[in-house]
Amino acid sequence: MNIRYLFILVIMVSGMYSCTQKPVAEQENVKYYRQLLFSETPWDLERGTYPLSEEEAKTVNNYKFTWNEAGKLASVEYNRGGVLLGYSNLWAAKITYTYDGDKQVKHFFNEAGEPIENGGAYAFEYTLDQEGMRTAMRFLDKNGEAIENRNNIHNYVWTRLPDGMIRELRYNLAGEETIMNPFCPFYELRFSYDDNGYITRMANFEADTLYNCTAENCGDVGVSYFTFKNNEKGDVLSFSVHSTTGQLSNLYWGWAKRENSVDENGNVLETVVYDQDDELWGGKNIPVTRNEYDEHGAVVKSISMDANKNVVNHPDNGVAIVEYKYDEQGRRTETLRYDKDMNPVESKS
């Protein structure tokens, strides 16, 4: 229920506010969402999709967004009924932002509310321009000292180009330009967004020219850009990899395209994977994965399937079905693995 309508209703019934109620302005600084918008770069600020009411958030897994008095994002926490949950797309149970001048500092916390690392760093320190756009970011350790993350990146620099694309460059502590990660050896990236702010392309550039990466990780065709097709809610329905000529191209793992089917709440029901010939992923790979969810929006089962939608064991570990168990408050308590005949498979981890 809309918060403003709720307060009006209370006034009509009782003629006055309860002394325990929070002010409208404070309530409006908090919103709940089922999903988190997909992102491919730390330039993006977190955004929620599929809004929930405060009452619905008591029984549905959600991302709780809180803004400070200045209207700046202060925290995002994945929870249900106020209980932090540790299996979100935040890579943490909770993140916080603090502000000091042109600096915006991001910290990460687990489900117990304890500070944790993300990618080898304890804090991301952003620099904002006068319009509030992120123009730079560097990684810090627990003592606030400059460090490199697990991909040997110390800082990012972003620029909005005349064509609207966001240019991203990365540097190590020595000030040398470095790649995104070992599996995508790209230096300069340019990101395109649609009018809704949904990402539509991530492209590899060199000297203002679309560049074809031919390193081993980029396959025999080479990789130049990724495209993302979204629905009106911002769910990514297709993620594909291309060369400069637009041809589908395999990444390191041998796939070139992933297509998702989602339900009315934005949950991914099925993912189908294709290679650069636009054929279902073959070899020792699983081309189809199907997911099932409970009434709270938590995934309870993930099923591996072949091209004919038959349940199959993964060639590497023998697992066909993964089940997740939760307690009454939504905390994950067990992860169970089975083969296609529902025989338990011991985890190798």
Same-domain status, 267 and 234: yes
Same-domain status, 316 and 348: yes
- At 219, the pLDDT band (50, 70, 90 cuts) reads confident
Rounded Cα–Cα distance for residues 106 and 120 (Å) = 14
Same-domain status, 189 and 233: yes
Residue 28 lies in a domain: no
Residue 145 lies in a domain: no
Residue 218 lies in a domain: yes
Residue 339 lies in a domain: yes
Residue 297 lies in a domain: yes
Residue 13 has pLDDT above 70, yes or no: no
Same-domain status, 312 and 347: yes
Q: Which domain holds residue 318?
A: 292-349
Contacts of 25 (CB under 8 A, 6+ apart): none
Residue 335 lies in a domain: yes
pLDDT tens digits for range 311-334: 999 999 999 999 999 999 999 999
Number of domains into which the chain is organized: 2
Same-domain status, 299 and 264: no
pTM for this entry:
0.90
Rounded Cα–Cα distance for residues 94 and 110 (Å) = 7
Residue 21 has pLDDT above 50, yes or no: no
**Where does a domain end: 281, 301, 326?**
281
- At 8, the pLDDT band (50, 70, 90 cuts) reads very low
pLDDT tens digits for range 129-169: 999 999 999 999 999 999 999 999 999 999 999 999 999 99
Same-domain status, 267 and 224: yes
pLDDT at 217: 86
* Burial of residue 103 (number of CB atoms within 10 Å: 0-12, 13-18, 19+): exposed
- At 183, the pLDDT band (50, 70, 90 cuts) reads confident
CA end-to-end span of the chain: 44
